[in-house]
Amino acid sequence: MEIVLDIRDLNSWFGDNHVLKGIRMEIAKNSVTSVMGPSGCGKSTFIRCLNRMHDLTPGYRMSGEILLDGVNIYSERVDPVYLRRRVGMVFQQPNPFPRMSVFENVAVGLRLNGRSVSRAEIAEAVEKSLRMAALWDEVKDHLSRPGMSLSGGQQQRLCIARALAVEPEVLLMDEPCSALDPVSTAKIEELIEDLSERYTIAVVTHNMQQAARISDNVAFFLMGELIEMDKSGKIFTNPADKRTEQYITGRFG
Amino acid sequence: MATGTISFRRKATDRAMKWAFYLCAFFVVLPLFLVFFDLLAKGAKELRWTLLTDLPHPVGEPGGGIANGILGTFVITLLTMLWSVPVAVMCGIYLAEYGKGKFASAVRFAVDTLTGVPSIIMGIFGYILIVLPMKRFSAWAGAAALSMIFIPVVVRTTEDMLRTVPATVREAALALGIERWKTTLFITVRTASAGILTGILLAMARIIGETAPLLFTTLGNQFWQTRLDQPMAAVPLQVFSYAISPYEDWHDKAWAGALVLITMVLLINIGARVVTREKK
């Protein structure tokens, strides 16, 4: 199995607060990895390390290495802007750009990426991305409507399409369903499964059922430590660590 | 019954307070209507098409207009905005998106102070800075004085509007691998564009009516003048000189000119309203 992301001894601090403690993890190509754990366990902080979203946060510090295809993404030679084009992200709250249409929301990444792309190429990429995000059929007749006019679930799929349009290799999702109703959640979960054929996906979730449904591998975080990571089937049936067992049987968290 | 009386008193107080709020709101808007209707009544005498198309006539000669002043006001206002809008908006962007340190606080303080500086001082400043070295009154000097009023207002509204853009918008752009300056210009500013434009229009409405800064800088002119390095007419200057003149018919023209001026300001304000109402 090919390893896309190799996290080696990752430690993170916000000021004096030691948020992530010695995380080691390998994320395989074209797999879905869920990161679960109770609130405040550091799972969101962790996933945001993978595309350097903390770079602008004052007081943030880290140590360790994160290798993307063998290159440390925190090395001086790596430009975080280019890194984020390879490692896309979808957020907890659907956040389409206000005052932009559905079309523009998906096109904006390509347009502002500095590469000169023709109008036709952009239109093609927008359609392709919206199809991959399973949104095309619902919006193809309203591409010029504001992105904000869509329902919450559609907005989240629009954000997924927007992330896919710049053709990343890895897609990070930070609790992508926690602001959505069950029907929209089911659609996104189905989508994640489809996307994993082409993309490497890491999903943060505090919903164990969701983790069980969508992931190949599950990592359990507690108080900033990676307690256990294993195949999804193994973790939920026969966890190695007592704390994991306590969590999945609902004894805390 | 004790409870009954208390409840009655509380209701009465509640109602009284509500009326007090309403009354204050009424007093706030009252002057606008008083001024406008007063101007309509007094300016109506001189209000005719030639007011907008003719040059001023000499004393005693009936008719005549303020066409050169209207043109001058447009020219000076546009000249001011031509360079003040980009400078002010960029400065607002700096304060909202980058301004964290001591320098930013100093800029913010200076801008706030500038907003409160009496406009006559801007006029004198323009006189010393531009009129004296150039040895002549000019539209340039007027525009320079007006920018000092225009820029601080727009800087602060731009900053405030950009701050209303949620952090999640910037974050989303960042995660797409869009450079920071592009995110700022093409996404954050665009998101706040209606508010920024409104701020620009309101500041424009403000400088269109400014008289004091122009007195020492553009001076005014009785004739057509489109050269920017020459004294230029402007509506507020005409209103001012007509109003302080000893002639009855010039007083009437002052009223009519004031009516034209307030109509322009009103139109710009309505424009600002339309801009914010459009699209959400």
Instruction: Write the pLDDT tens digit of every residue in B248-280.
Output: 888 888 999 999 999 999 999 999 888 887 654
Question: Tokens 């009785």 map to which residue?
Answer: B222
Alpha helices in chain A (DSSP H): 43-49, 80-86, 102-111, 119-132, 136-139, 152-165, 182-195, 208-214, 232-237, 242-248
Cα–Cα dist A46/A222, whole Å: 12
Q: Pick from A78, A85, A108 the residue to mutate for testing the B interface (most B CBs within 10 Å).
A: A108
CA distance A210 to chain B (A): 24
pLDDT digits (tens, 9 = 90+) for A124-162: 999 999 999 999 999 999 999 999 999 999 999 999 999
Q: Which residue of A has its CA nearest to B171?
A: A53
Mean pLDDT of B96-115: 94
Average of per-residue pLDDT values in chain A: 93
pLDDT digits (tens, 9 = 90+) for A47-65: 999 999 999 888 999 999 9
Give the alpha-carbon dihedral of B178, B180, B181, B185, to 10 degrees.
Answer: 70
Mean pLDDT of B75-83: 95
Cα–Cα dist A212/B163, whole Å: 40
Q: How many CA atoms lie within 13 A of B149 on its CB side?
A: 28
Cβ(A74)–Cβ(A252) below 8 Å? no
ipTM at complex level: 0.88
| Chain B hits for A99, Cβ within 8 Å | 190-191, 193-194, 279
Q: Which residue of A has its CA nearest to B172?
A: A95
- CATH node for A3-95+171-248: 3.40.50.300
Nearest-CB residue to A93 (from B168, B176, B194): B168
Cβ(A66)–Cβ(A5) below 8 Å? yes
pLDDT digits (tens, 9 = 90+) for B118-174: 999 999 999 999 999 999 999 999 999 999 999 999 999 999 999 999 999 999 999
Backbone angles phi, psi at A109, to 5 degrees: -60, -45
Whether A157 and chain B come into contact, CB under 8 Å, resolves to no
Q: Which residue of A has its CA nearest to B165?
A: A98
CA angle in degrees (0–180, nearest 5) for B149-B153-B157: 165
Chains A and B form CB pairs within 8 A to the count of: 72
Specify which residues A12 forms β-bridges with. A20, A62
Specify which residues B277 forms β-bridges with. none
Rounded to two decimals, the pTM is 0.87
Q: Is B172's CB within 8 Å of A97's CB?
A: yes
- CATH node for B51-277: 1.10.3720.10
CB-based burial, B154-192: b 16+ in 10 Å, e otherwise: bbbbbbbbbeebeeebbbbbbbbbbeeebbbebbbbbbb
Taking Cα atoms as reference points, which of B180, B154, B146 lies closest to residue B92?
B154
Q: Which residue of B has its CA nearest to A48?
A: B175
At B2 the pLDDT is 54
| Chain B hits for A114, Cβ within 8 Å | 179
pLDDT digits (tens, 9 = 90+) for A183-200: 999 999 999 999 999 999
Question: Tokens 């001591």 map to which residue?
Answer: B102
Task: Kindly state the tokens that stand for B24.
Answer: 């204050």
Cα–Cα dist B110/B263, whole Å: 33
Q: Is B178's CB within 8 Å of A112's CB?
A: yes
Taking Cα atoms as reference points, which of A157, A137, A158, A138 lies closest to residue A147?
A158
Q: Where are the domains of chain A?
A: 3-95+171-248
